[in-house]
Amino acid sequence: MHWDLFCRVVDNFGDIGVCWRLAADLAARGDRVRLWADDASALAWIAPAGAPGVEVIAWPDDDDAGSAPHEAVIEAFGCHLPAGFVQRMAACHPPPVWINLEYLSAEDYVERNHGLRSPQLTGPAQGLDKHFFYPGFTARTGGLLREPDLPARQQAFDAPAWRRAQGIDLSPGERSVSLFCYANPALPALLDALAGAPTLLLVTPGIAARQVQALLGPNARPGSLRAHYLPPLTQPDYDHLLWSCDLNLVRGEDSFVRAQWAGKPFLWQIYPQDDGAHAPKLAAFHDRWLAAAPPALAAAVRAASLAWNGLAPEVARPAGGAGLVLPPLADWQAQAKAWRKQLGSLPDLTTNLRAFVREGR
């Protein structure tokens, strides 16, 4: 099968991260993918070696008809395809299967809208159909990105050896915590919570590193907390980071999904939106994620997540702080493994996409 996958980088390179994982997974299953991107610079550290079967192409101008479309065209996250390429699609007989790959959400509307057809009635796309494809957490959605060999790779992973190769020195009895976040006013409260036990904080480059350095300095140790600043990691090594840690702080979509496959406790910083739409989206995920957890643990995890996202009720915050209290990691670990098992029983996103295209053709 041959695919055209279009991606625009809005900010933070999260979109290109998701699209690269999808492109590489499709290619690993024997397909060929053209990844069209308006900014592919992040691939220099995400995937410096590329992937067999994936061709990265610069985003074409609207009046550039470009290459003949492949049998499946993915418009990632509503990025709006170039007009010239759409005209080429309309001239194909039969036309490509056109998919709008949506953002991940646990909200109920995802199940209602997944797979819906959107006839194009005007413009260069007139006569074509676009289909909405929603990643999700249930069998009535498109599922989550998960490579077929992921469980085997996790089983074979040697965390101490990986840490040694990265120059990470974890002391005996010290827990490891990864941090990947947007600018977050709750970070001081998180550091206070972590300082209650021996902790090595593994900090990703960018905003997270600048925030932690401003609060701790390069080598400061408040209480039992110390920080190690990481270089940019490839996607496989970011997975390894998550697998090697006792707690993961993640953001956006790609790291959010990978934290769930890691089967470790995590807190997700959802992308904040000016209209507050992120609050019900986070609540919907809590409802699914914690539905089967023991009530006391579910309440503690939900409270920590709300505090980390600046959404905790004011009455729940002690004076001068975000009220961020970490739940017991052992209980949280058991819940994380149970959630991963539940997700692993569902077909993955790439499998569902390929089946959808075959049916559409």
Which residue is catalytic, options 15, 102, 107, 239? 15
Confidence band, pLDDT 50/70/90 cuts, at residue 354: very high
Q: What is the pLDDT of residues 127-145, one digit of tens each?
A: 999 999 999 999 999 999 9
Q: Is 117 exposed, middle or buried (0-12, 13-18, 19+ CB in 10 A)?
A: exposed
pTM of the shown model: 0.94
Q: Residue 145's closest CA among 115, 104, 201? A: 104
Confidence band, pLDDT 50/70/90 cuts, at residue 26: very high
Q: How far is CA 356 from each of CA 27, 76, 116, 137, 349, rounded to the nearest angstrom?
A: 17, 16, 12, 17, 10
- Axis crossing angle, helix 207-216 with helix 187-194, rounded to the nearest 10: 60
Inter-residue contact 130 to 156 (CB < 8 Å):
no
Q: What is the pLDDT of residues 217-246, one digit of tens each?
A: 765 555 689 999 999 999 999 999 999 999
Q: What is the pLDDT of residues 262-279, one digit of tens each?
A: 999 999 999 998 898 999
- Helix, strand, coil percentages in the chain from 3-state DSSP, rounded to 5: 40, 15, 45
pLDDT at 317: 45
Q: Confirm whether 314 is a catalytic residue.
A: no
pLDDT at 67: 80
Least confident of 166-170, 304-308, 315-319: 315-319
Q: How confident is the model over 10-22, as a mean pLDDT?
A: 88
Which residue is catalytic, options 4, 102, 253, 254? 253
**Mean pLDDT over the full length of the chain:** 93
Report d(CA 349, CA 355) in Å as an integer: 10
115 has pLDDT over 80: yes
Inter-residue contact 332 to 298 (CB < 8 Å):
no
38 has pLDDT over 90: yes
> What's the chain's length in residues?
361
Q: Confirm whether 15 is a catalytic residue.
A: yes
